[in-house]
Amino acid sequence: MQLGHFEFNPTEDRLGEGPLSEVYRAKDTRLGRSVALKILRSTAEFDPLSDKRFMREGKMQASFSHPGITKIYEQGTLQSEQGEPQHYIAMELLEGHTLEDLVKERLLGIDECLRIATALSDAVSAVHDRHMVHRDLKPANVFLTSDGKVKLMDFGIARAKNESAITQAGMLVGTVLFMSPEQVRGEELTSASDVFSLGAVLYNLFTGKFPYPGRSFPEVCMAILDARPVEKPSEARPGLQPAIEDLLMQCLQADSKLRLENGGAVHAALMQLDDRLDSSTVRPQLAGSISIAQPTGNGARAHSQLANKVHQELVRALGRNRNLEILEEAPGPSNKADARVLLELNLDNDVGILGIDLKHLHWDGTEAIASDSSMEEVHAEREESDTELIVMEQDLAFGGARVIRKMFASSARQQKNSETPETTERAMKLVNAAREQVHQGTSGQLTRSLLRLRKALEIDRFYAPAHAQMAETLVFKFLHYEGYEEHLLESRRSAAQALDLDPKCAIAHVALGFGYHLQGRTNDARREYRLALDIDANEWFAHRLMGSLQKANGVFTSARTHLERAVGLKPHDASAYDHLWETLVRLDKRDLADEGATQGIDHARSHLAEYPEDLDTMTHMGLLYARLGRADLARETVAKARQGAPKDGFVAFHCGLTLAVLGDQEDAVKHLQRAIDRGYYVGSEIFHNPAFDPLRGREDFQAMMR
């Protein structure tokens, strides 16, 4: 479709839409660049002022030159192919995703939250410095680019101070979940109103929850007007530092005069926050599993329906903690919960009393041993109008959930603090061995790696690298077991636990990136690899994965840098040498590529002399032989690898890859089919790896791709 000097496909290039506009990925044919093209729908018949608001949005946003605010290239009116005038705004095309999508996916580590919050508040500060009010701050209007930048978007209802309104007096504008009380009331808005909305966005960022949730529009509005979050930030995310909670609550004051004055004040407070944080309060978060028993007591016997409802609502409330698994059955060999909660419900006249006894459990084989116990009570008075005890049920359930969170986190901190250096060292040795093992390639090594990691977590369940390595290993399990998505979900849960325990855990970010990479979510993968390398510049696997990703995207200079770093950190990583060979060839450096491949083979042979069971190194060494045209040695290596693991899908796939490079099409297809039959996930490799291009005309190969 053509709109003036812009070209786009209305179906394939649609990026998003709002009530009055649509956004497309478009090509500016005049300047030869890609843009995000926002087009106003033909809405004048029911909103005659929409065109004025639309054009004002572009003008306002274009007045900024700030790295945290989306750039506007141009705006105007062009004739559509149907000859109708269409208003448009052309802006920078961003690759990545919104903060809303990111927070829905996982609970972010504290350091990442602080980085995003600081960048966002800086952008809001720039708006306020221009004497403007954004009026629609929400996670959907915050964009995180693939290289980690934070961008504030959508100035559709922004207004400068003293500017005449293009909305009716008292009209409700903005998104209700993040509105300030004065915005709900339809009053004049100031920078302090944006501060409230920014506080609500940051609450969502740090906790993964909404400060004022509700089942309906009026319910949310009433909660905002009450201006007390349903949960304090530290209740929504136990272990959140008091300094962060204080800042969030200061932004969320009902009285605008008591809030921080503007975005600049929030930004300054965030910049000073590091000095106030006590890192010991970061861990541990609510990560683990709790078994919740049905209530006993006179109230449970006399009001069984009340007891059942309290139990159901309490389980539901605790279940909102993403990394906390709630088990309703008693602990046992197949249900090794970290804690057991016993409930006792009693009624004393019009007062309901929920007694809570939380017992932390250690497991000796199949036997649960209670290591400590703590008890608290929640009281709820029956209101005169509460004839069916519905209000009492809610008060007991939600009060009980808050108490259990607090008890579990407090007890967990005590257990973490009681861990000895010897315990941590034992866990560390197991984790290091598990990582070496899973990178040796076969499903058997994967199984042994998982066993080591489970043992490490039994020794110290608060050891972040154990959770992180479990996350990475589960991605390998996804590869070995038919691309079963549940393994990636488990991996993300383990990564989240690791980052809860240690926000600077690089391997957790590597695991997240690896999973995204296999799903084709390249922007998300790139972001996670960069976060990992920001934390640990010597994380070899992050360098290898980032290099392979950049190579696939044609960014060969960057790919070369990362892959050379990978082989420098782990010289026997024949896979990295193979990616590097392909990269150098694309850079027209064939001699250097062959020299590197020869060096990789030498390192691999030395390594295999000591670790002959490392079939990842062996199969990739065979691939390097094939790249160099040393066909006999390549076939000999393939045969040896097959002999070492004749039934392994990973080995079959990589042998098939080597044979494809050699031109042995029949044998290549047989090995690839064997890999698929063994459950190995060939995924995008079989579709996109150029080594398989000579096979694409074969019917048997095409059958694999169906």
Instruction: Please write the tens of the pLDDT for every residue from 194-204.
Output: 999 999 999 99
Q: Token pair for residue 440? A: 């040796």
> For residue 184, is pLDDT > 70?
yes
* CATH numeric code, 2-92: 3.30.200.20
- The pLDDT tens digits for 105-119 are 877 777 778 889 988
pLDDT (0 to 100) of residue 319: 73
Q: What is the mean pLDDT of residues 494-502?
A: 84
* CATH numeric code, 419-503: 1.25.40
- The pLDDT tens digits for 18-38 are 667 788 889 988 888 899 888
What lies within 8 Å, CB to CB, of 291 at 6+ separation is 327, 328, 329, 330, 331, 335, 337, 339, 340, 341
- Per-residue pLDDT band for 378 (boundaries 50, 70, 90) equals confident
* Separation of alpha carbons 381 and 201, rounded Å: 34
CA distances from 219 to 184, 197, 224, 377 (A): 12, 18, 9, 29
Instruction: Write the DSSP string, 9-53.
Output: -TTTTEEEE-SSEEEEEEEETTTTEEEEEEEE-S-TTT-TTHHHH
- Per-residue pLDDT band for 410 (boundaries 50, 70, 90) equals low
pLDDT (0 to 100) of residue 275: 45
Q: What is the mean pLDDT of residues 74-86?
A: 80
Of 158-162, 323-327, 393-397, 423-427, which range is least confident? 158-162
Domain ranges of the chain: 2-92, 97-281, 288-418, 419-503
What lies within 8 Å, CB to CB, of 437 at 6+ separation is 445, 446, 448, 449, 452
> For residue 465, is pLDDT > 60?
yes
User: Quick check: 212 and 175 in contact, CB under 8 A?
Assistant: no
Q: Token pair for residue 37? A: 């093209």
> For residue 653, is pLDDT > 90?
yes
CA distances from 474 to 124, 522, 529, 582 (A): 40, 19, 17, 28
Kindly report the average pLDDT of the chain as a whole number. 83
In this structure, the chain runs to a length of 706
- The pLDDT tens digits for 237-285 are 877 888 899 999 999 998 888 999 898 889 888 877 754 453 333 333 4
Q: What is the mean pLDDT of residues 578-601?
A: 94
- Per-residue pLDDT band for 363 (boundaries 50, 70, 90) equals low
> For residue 670, is pLDDT > 70?
yes
* Separation of alpha carbons 96 and 552, rounded Å: 18
Query: CATH homologous superfamily of domain 288-418?
Result: ABC-type transport auxiliary lipoprotein component (3.40.50.10610)
> For residue 167, is pLDDT > 70?
no
Indicate the SS3 state at residue 596. Answer: helix
- Per-residue pLDDT band for 635 (boundaries 50, 70, 90) equals very high
CATH of 97-281, one of 3.40.50.300, 3.40.190.10, 2.10.109.10, 1.10.510.10: 1.10.510.10
Q: What is the mean pLDDT of residues 331-343?
A: 74
Q: What is the mean pLDDT of residues 421-427?
A: 82
**Residue 52: HSE in the Cβ half-sphere, 13 Å Cα cutoff:** 8
pLDDT (0 to 100) of residue 432: 95
Indicate the SS3 state at residue 324. Answer: strand
